[in-house]
Amino acid sequence: MNHLDGSDRRWILVTGSNRGIGRATALKLAGDGFGVVLHCRGEVERLQALRDDIAAFGGASRALVFDIADRAACRAQIEADIVASGSYYGVICNAGLARDAVFPGMADDAWDTVLRTNLDGFFNVLKPALMPMIRSRRGGRIVVLSSVAGQIGNRGQVNYSASKAGLIGAAKSLALELASRNITVNCIAPGLIETDMIESAPRQEILKQIPAGRLGSADEVAALAAYLCSDAAAYITRQVIGINGGMI
């Protein structure tokens, strides 16, 4: 259990936490005693409902709304939040999207949007958060949601796979820069997780690729993210941890 006393509570920003894996992760972290900075781009009502759920079991949260592809908005919102409420102990870079198409039919916008969001989002969110985290001298945790598609590729996801592979390189490099400051940086690479993101995916086809014979749940990914944020995981850094039912 982390510091439940408000004064030294450790706060973790979870991007994209109004639904899916981010929501489950925010709930788990709040249950573990962290304060959670919730975030999304649009669906503010869901964020408020989540804040109520967290408050109901005595957890602490606050909420930010911005587009992670918008560098100026990320900087303005995160800097203002840190000035008002203090630096983050951790960041879960979870927000992301997919715009699938086979490569010859992939629109310029599908490439640009996915790379600007998933990969640039890493820079846009972590850049304003990092120096205050370092200056606090408390160590810290950065967890980045990559994907099995970033490890082995996936048909129809050249853009998404490129962004998720890029995140692995970025996270490993940042891990090297931050290891001596006791800030760990790791990637989680999920396989297929039951969320809105895979709503339109061909389920029967997908299940054939998963030795476990089922999709993963957001709670299962959240448990891994929370472990990586825990004190017990202090010696795990620069890793890519798969959670995929045996897909690779």
Chain contacts with ligand NDP (rule: CB under 6 A): 16, 18-22, 40-43, 67-69, 94-97, 117, 145, 147, 190, 192-193, 195-198
Residue number with CB closer to ligand NDP (69 or 175) = 69
Taking the complex as a whole, the smallest distance from the CB of residue 33 to ligand NDP amounts, in Å, to: 23
Catalytic residue among 88, 89, 160, 227: 160
Query: CB of 18 within 8 A of CB of 43?
Result: yes
What token pair was written down for 51? 């804040």
* Closer Cβ to ligand NDP, 53 or 138, answer by number: 53
d(CA 135, CA 150): 32
Cβ partners under 8 Å of residue 106, min gap 6: 158, 159
CB closer to ligand NDP out of 18 and 61 = 18
At 246, which amino acid appears? Answer: G
160 is catalytic: yes
- What's the closest the beta carbon of residue 191 comes to ligand NDP, in angstroms? 6
Contact 161, 153 (CB under 8 A): yes
Q: How far is the CB of 231 from ligand NDP (least distance, A)?
A: 24
The answer to whether 177 touches 129, Cβ cutoff 8 Å, is no
Q: Which residues are catalytic?
A: 160
